[in-house]
A = this chain, B = another copy of it.
Amino acid sequence: MDASVGIGMLGCGNVGSALATLVDEHGADVAARTGVELRIVRVAVRDLAKTRPVTFDDGVLVDDPTAVVNDPEVDVVVEVMGGVEPARTLTLAAFQAGRPVVTGNKELLAAAGPELFDAAAKAEVDLLFEAAVAGGIPLIRPLRESLAGDRVLRVMGIVNGTTNFILTRMAESGATFADALAEAQSLGYAEADPTADVEGLDAGAKAAIIASIAFGVRVVADDVYCEGITSITPADIAFADRLGHVIKLLAVADAVDGEVAVRVHPAMIPKDHPLASVRDAFNAVFLEGEAVGELMFYGRGAGGRPTASALLGDLVDAAVNRRRGTHATVATLRDARIRPLDELSSQFYLQLQLFDRPGVLADVARVFGDNGVSIRDVVQQPLRDEARDVFITHRARESDMRATVAGLHALECVDRVGSLIRVIGQE
């Protein structure tokens, strides 16, 4: 077979440069192992004059991405430009021209995944995207291939390194959210505008992709309920610790009776759960398969070289398939009802500050009961200089819990309604 495979890159920022470097460093190994020689023949960039950490031969850098996807020398397209457009249009154009695409672009897949999967299937070419979720951690390939004969029931992931770093700092040093965020920013783990990370939107995009592949169902970012970590306090973390739990921002996807439920929110998980020991900027995805039971995949969810490692794994796969005239099985996604948050159930942790009067607990308990929420534990603890009550519920519907919180706000004996956090893995 012809040993040389031409790579066309769309974009050459942090991740793209890391990929080009890795192709340079490991290309000989890859050729020895697979018989395929990877050659970067075109790289589309916005600014041809910009200095980059990697150099290319004359003529490789171009400023017209359309030329890359249509170049006859390009066998496989690698999209590392980020964002939905023009990445979407260029990816569709590559398929149109019969070229497979490797991408690490989570926004693109979370917004237009189902459309792109269909287009790749129609063109009979690969669309590989291991790098789009959880960076360097092999997750998409195990879901698509290793578990091809199993049924995934639930996926729970720590898929945003920034928020995991912040929560780890808060738990280990007692820092406030604001201080931990500032530290994350100074270390380069958080961006100047941290909204997408701390509000759970980045995790939401990844949750949509994970749910699509795990359950074979069309899920896009807009289907995912997202709640961030900005209101988590040191007191919540201290209470969680006393209850034998840690607080993590989780992306949770469930398959229930042919429907799916996907959401991102902070959650209390028991300290002996495998996800609880995932610290700092690491990511991990925990899943339950019907036959395989519990699995977890752990590693670096971001960073140039880990992401480039995942891209290169896909690139080798696409290149080998290309030379053999075959391609990976594209997931056929079915339509399924996305179960709205209100219909889901969970245990809850609710923190309240109550005025110290006789009958207060009875009044509070009545609001829970009137809304069909059953209390499992009440923990009254002095925390610094004030007393706080923490209520842990039995499993309750989200809509009922929301009504309970509204009712508590209306009670005169309630000074302040604090954090409401879902509790996972107790029942």
A contacts, CB < 8 Å to B: 18, 22-23, 26, 29-30, 32-34, 130, 136-138, 141-142, 145-151, 216, 272, 274, 276-279, 282, 284, 289, 291-300, 303, 305-306, 308-313, 315-317, 320, 324, 326, 329, 331-332
- Given A149-B315, A279-B272, A316-B148, answer yes or no on A309-B291 (Cβ-Cβ < 8 Å): yes
**Residue numbers in B under 8 Å from A148 (CB-CB):** 30, 33-34, 312-313, 316-317
Could you tell me if B149 and A138 are in contact, using CB atoms closer than 8 angstroms? no
Could you tell me if A308 and B291 are in contact, using CB atoms closer than 8 angstroms? yes
**Residue numbers in B under 8 Å from A278 (CB-CB):** 274
**Residue numbers in B under 8 Å from A320 (CB-CB):** 329
The contact of A310 among B30, B146, B272, B299, by CB within 8 Å, is B146
**Residue numbers in B under 8 Å from A30 (CB-CB):** 148-149
Could you tell me if B295 and A150 are in contact, using CB atoms closer than 8 angstroms? no
Residue on B with the closest CB to A294? B299
In the assembled complex, how far is the CB of residue A27 from the closest CB belonging to chain B, in whole angstroms?
Answer: 9
Copies of the protein in its oligomer: 2
Could you tell me if B142 and A316 are in contact, using CB atoms closer than 8 angstroms? no
- Looking at A146, A279, A315, A332, the one whose CB has the most chain B CB atoms below 10 A away is A146
A138 vs B148: C-alpha distance when bound (angstroms): 11
**Residue numbers in B under 8 Å from A146 (CB-CB):** 130, 138, 141, 310, 313
In the assembled complex, how far is the CB of residue A218 from the closest CB belonging to chain B, in whole angstroms?
Answer: 14
A152 vs B151: C-alpha distance when bound (angstroms): 30
**Residue numbers in B under 8 Å from A216 (CB-CB):** 33
**Residue numbers in B under 8 Å from A150 (CB-CB):** 22, 26, 309, 312-313
**Residue numbers in B under 8 Å from A282 (CB-CB):** 294
A158 vs B130: C-alpha distance when bound (angstroms): 26
**Residue numbers in B under 8 Å from A289 (CB-CB):** 136, 309
Could you tell me if A149 and B22 are in contact, using CB atoms closer than 8 angstroms? yes
- Given A294-B299, A324-B326, A329-B34, answer yes or no on A309-B149 (Cβ-Cβ < 8 Å): yes
**Residue numbers in B under 8 Å from A18 (CB-CB):** 291
Could you tell me if A298 and B299 are in contact, using CB atoms closer than 8 angstroms? no
The 4 A-B pairs with the shortest beta carbon distances in the complex, nearest first, are A149-B312, A138-B146, A138-B142, A292-B309
Could you tell me if B138 and A138 are in contact, using CB atoms closer than 8 angstroms? yes
The contact of A316 among B149, B151, B293, B298, by CB within 8 Å, is B149
A316 vs B317: C-alpha distance when bound (angstroms): 18
Could you tell me if B329 and A306 are in contact, using CB atoms closer than 8 angstroms? no
Residue on B with the closest CB to A328? B320
A147 vs B295: C-alpha distance when bound (angstroms): 19
- Sample of 12 further A-B pairs with CB below 8 A, known A272-B279, A293-B299: A26-B151, A33-B329, A136-B289, A136-B291, A137-B295, A145-B313, A146-B310, A150-B312, A272-B277, A293-B306, A320-B329, A324-B326
Could you tell me if B317 and A305 are in contact, using CB atoms closer than 8 angstroms? no
A272 vs B326: C-alpha distance when bound (angstroms): 44
Residue on B with the closest CB to A26? B149
Could you tell me if B136 and A293 are in contact, using CB atoms closer than 8 angstroms? yes
Could you tell me if A33 and B299 are in contact, using CB atoms closer than 8 angstroms? no
The contact of A136 among B272, B292, B297, B324, by CB within 8 Å, is B292
- Given A33-B331, A305-B291, A309-B292, answer yes or no on A147-B138 (Cβ-Cβ < 8 Å): yes
A296 vs B311: C-alpha distance when bound (angstroms): 19
**Residue numbers in B under 8 Å from A300 (CB-CB):** 292-294
28 contacts between A and B (CB under 8 A): A18-B291, A22-B291, A23-B149, A33-B216, A33-B332, A34-B329, A136-B289, A138-B141, A138-B147, A138-B295, A141-B141, A142-B142, A147-B313, A148-B313, A149-B315, A150-B312, A274-B277, A274-B278, A291-B308, A291-B312, A292-B305, A292-B309, A293-B300, A293-B303, A293-B306, A295-B297, A295-B298, A296-B299
